[in-house]
Structures are given as structure tokens and as C-alpha cells.
A = this chain, B = another copy of it.
Amino acid sequence: MEAVKIGLLGLGTVGGGVVNVLTRNGREIARRAGRGIRIAHAAARDYNSDAIHGLEEIGRITEDPFEVVEDPDVDIIIELLGGYSPALELVLRAIDNGKQVVTANKALIARHGNEIFAAAQRRGVTVAFEAAVAGGIPIIKALREGLAANHIEWIAGIINGTSNFILTEMRDKGRDFADVLAEAQARGYAEADPTFDVEGIDAAHKLTILGSLAFGIPLQFDKTAIEGITQIDALDVAYAGELGYRIKHLGIARRTGKGVELRVHPTLIPARRLIANVEGVMNAVLVKGDAVGPTLYYGAGAGSEPTASAVLADVVDVVRALTTDPENRVPHLAFQPSQLVDTPVLPLEEVETAYYLRMAALDQPGVMARIAGILGEHGISIEAIQQKEPEEGHTHVPLVMLTHRIREGRMNQAIAEIEGLGTVKGKVVRIRLEHLAG
């Protein structure tokens, strides 16, 4: 089947990410979507051709985005220009032309979503906007589909990475707002004009969208209460910490008997909550449903490829709906049935992990050296070693080690040799260790 043809508006940070992810993962994405996806036409004033791979595969590149939305060859428009104009005109034009639309534009959806969705509804097309809230985290899908059986009681989200980075640094280093903001700007985590982020406007756009999805109300950005983090004093961050709290910039949507709350402001939350431990530029959204209880969704809330991940997930959704039979829109195992592969599942002996080891060894000169020697002969390096106090009345001392990564088969051989030593009593306790680093 012929590839679906994309019209891409914008080749900046996110647009470049879309091209790069599609270039790198295009075949794997097609195995999931049931059809290839090709950028047939793109519009951009200027772009960094060094940062974008696969530009040569784009059918045409123009400076005029209206040319793209009028292109009869294009099936899906991806709008990544941001702002209200000409984004609104372009999206409405694309809808008029019967094209599916995917956008990452939170301001546009928060302000003009009601109008856009009504137009899409009349024309029978979809406007998808997963990337508009919390970047790569599939929170819109979770609210719209995954939690569809719930009466949503409230949502609390860290949905602006810049603000969270600044608050995290203020706490970790005891520094002032202005000081950290300057650093965030230098590191590219904050814009030269940071107003949208630090005054809470960006978070309010996102919260407006989350509130509508949760409660079934029209988008009402103008009624969302907004307070940013510019007034937060380092002193209060410290005092909150002493009381067992952390200050986070939260977007909160809550149902009450009288109506709905939509508000964005700095908030003390208990330090032991999972969401209180979401640090730096990361985002997280906590959703309380009456049936499911609290659920949390965590990940990168911005950036080139995380946002592209959400944009392209929307594209896959649209392609699946357009292409496959509706009764089997999403394949059972994520990939189309004909596209499953028989990659071998490795036996445990072939698996590499780090290890925690504990053994009971005689407290004599040379014993630890002998054990370390056996590990070394098997290519196992030791990251940490601790000799613990012996239990009362025992002649052997517990020896605890952390090792670097090694194939399990080699570790098993080394352990067998260690257990054969006269100076080590009983079995070696072995627990695998994973750093789970991003």
C-alpha cells in the first residue's frame, strides 16, 4: 500500500525531531501503523540542516505553509508553527480541505480548540493534539481512552519543565529565582523571554486542555486562574523543606459540588508523594479517578524527540484509523500481525546485569584478595565492597559487594569457584542490580 503523505508545517526543534525520528524509526513505525509514512511537503522559513537527518527524503520544501495545506497530495497536516496566526488559519484551511491534522500547539488548542473541533467534526476529520500537553507523555490518550470508565475527581500536574527545573535548582542549591532563571536561560531550558513559562501561561494552556478532557466541559482558557513562580523566595523553599514539603508549580483541575476548579500556581506538596520527587525539566501528571484511584504519568515534557514521539503517535493513530479495518484498528500486539519477528529470547546465562553479592567469609588475611582474584579472572569488576559486623557467635563475617555488569554465565562460574573456597561458608547470595538510567 502507498505511504501516507504528510504535510509538515515547521522545521524547528520539534519539526526537526519529527523528521529525525521518522528517518530513524520509519520502518518500525510502519510495522505498527500498517503503512509507510512519508513527508511529502514541508514548509519552513529557515531550519538547521545539520541537525535534521533525512531532509533529502522530503518531497518538497517551501517557505509558504499555505502551499502545503492546499497540496491535494497531502493526507495529514502536522502543524508545528506555534502561536495563533497563521496557525489557526492553516489548521482551519487544512480541515476545510478534508485533511487530518496533528498539532503540538497548546496555545492554539486552549484558545481556539472549541472552534477547531467543531469544524473538524463537521468535515469528518480528526485534529489530534497529544503533543500539546506534557510532551512525550501519552496523557491525553490516558484521559480520553485509558481512564474512560472513571469519574475523574482531580488532576494535578507538573506540566512546565522550565518552572520545575528552576524550583528544583532553588531547592537543591538554595539559590534565588533570578539566579537560577539566568542559568536556565544559558542552558537552553528557558527562553530569552521566559514570561510564558515562569508566569504560568504555558501551564495554564495545558491545564485548560486537561480540564476539558477530564470533566467534559468546553475549553475555557480565560477562566483558568494563573500564578507563576516569579514570586517564590528561596527562604520559603527552605522552610517548606523543613516542614516536610516541596514547592512545585502545579496545574490543578478539580471537581467540587459547586463547579470545577482550573488553577495553576506554586503549591506545597508532601515530600513523600511520588510527584514531589519529579525533578528538573521532567513532567508528571497525577490523575485521580473514582474507580482506578490515583495514577501517575511521568516523562519528558518538552524537547525535540519527546515531542516528536507524541506527534508521531497521533499520526500512527490516524493512519491506523484510515487504513486498517475499523474493527481491528489497533493490532493486538502493537505491531501488525504479519510484522511480528522472531528475535531470539536470550537464555539467562547470556543476560548482562550488575550484581549484589553477599557471602560469609573467614576474617583472615588473604581471604578477600582470593575472592577478588576469582572475580577478576572471570572479568568481573567490583564497584563497592563492604565488610559487615559478624553476627554474634559467628566466626565468619558477611562480605557485601556490588559488581559492574557481567554476563550471568560468567558470574555463575565465579560464584561456583568462590563457594568452593574453604574460607567461604555456605552459598553466595546473588541479587541482580540494574541502574535503570535513562
Chain A residues within CB distance 8 Å of chain B: 17, 21-22, 24-25, 28-29, 31-33, 100, 113, 117-118, 120-121, 124-127, 130, 135-138, 141-151, 156, 212-220, 223-225, 232-233, 235-236, 239-240, 242-243, 245, 247, 250, 252, 255-256, 258-263, 265-270, 273-275, 277-278, 286, 288-300, 305-306, 308-313, 315-317, 321-322, 325-335, 337, 339-348, 350-354, 356, 358, 384, 386, 388, 398, 400, 402, 429, 431-436, 438
Contacts and interface: CB of A to CB of B under 8 A. Distances in A.
A296 B294 contact: no
Secondary structure of the A side of the interface? mixed
A331 B129 CA distance: 12
B32 A236 contact: no
Contact of A321 (B245, B247, B297, B327): B327
27 contacts: A25-B151, A25-B291, A28-B216, A32-B144, A32-B148, A136-B291, A141-B141, A141-B146, A144-B331, A145-B317, A146-B313, A149-B308, A149-B309, A149-B316, A216-B341, A225-B347, A239-B398, A243-B386, A252-B434, A255-B343, A256-B346, A268-B356, A269-B434, A274-B274, A290-B305, A295-B299, A297-B297
Nearest to A278: B274
A337 B233 contact: no
A52 to B, nearest CB: 14
B138 A313 contact: no
Which of A156, A268, A333 counts the most chain B CB atoms within 10 A? A333
A136 B293 contact: yes
A213 B330 CA distance: 12
A332 B217 contact: no
**A-B pairs with lowest CB-CB distance, top 10:** A138-B146, A149-B312, A295-B299, A136-B292, A216-B335, A259-B344, A292-B309, A223-B345, A268-B433, A296-B298
Contact of A295 (B137, B217, B321): B137
A217 B32 CA distance: 12
B291 A309 contact: yes
Contacts of A143: 334
Nearest to A357: B236
A341 B259 CA distance: 11
Given A25-B151, A436-B286, A295 B297 contact: yes
A155 to B, nearest CB: 10
Given A126-B327, A216-B341, A297-B295, A270 B144 contact: no
A435 B327 contact: no
A144 to B, nearest CB: 4
Which of A117, A274, A429 counts the most chain B CB atoms within 10 A? A274
Contacts of A277: 274, 277
Contacts of A347: 225
B149 A138 contact: no
A330 B216 contact: no
B263 A348 contact: yes
A117 B299 contact: no
Given A138-B147, A243-B402, A117 B332 contact: yes
A380 to B, nearest CB: 16
Contacts of A317: 145, 148
Contact of A148 (B146, B148, B252, B334): B334
A239 B433 contact: no
A271 to B, nearest CB: 11
B306 A299 contact: no
B216 A260 contact: no
Contacts of A348: 225, 263
B343 A236 contact: no
B431 A313 contact: no
A390 to B, nearest CB: 12
Contacts of A433: 245, 267-269
A388 to B, nearest CB: 7
A243 to B, nearest CB: 6
B265 A432 contact: yes
A230 to B, nearest CB: 13
Contact of A436 (B146, B150, B269): B269
A120 B261 contact: no
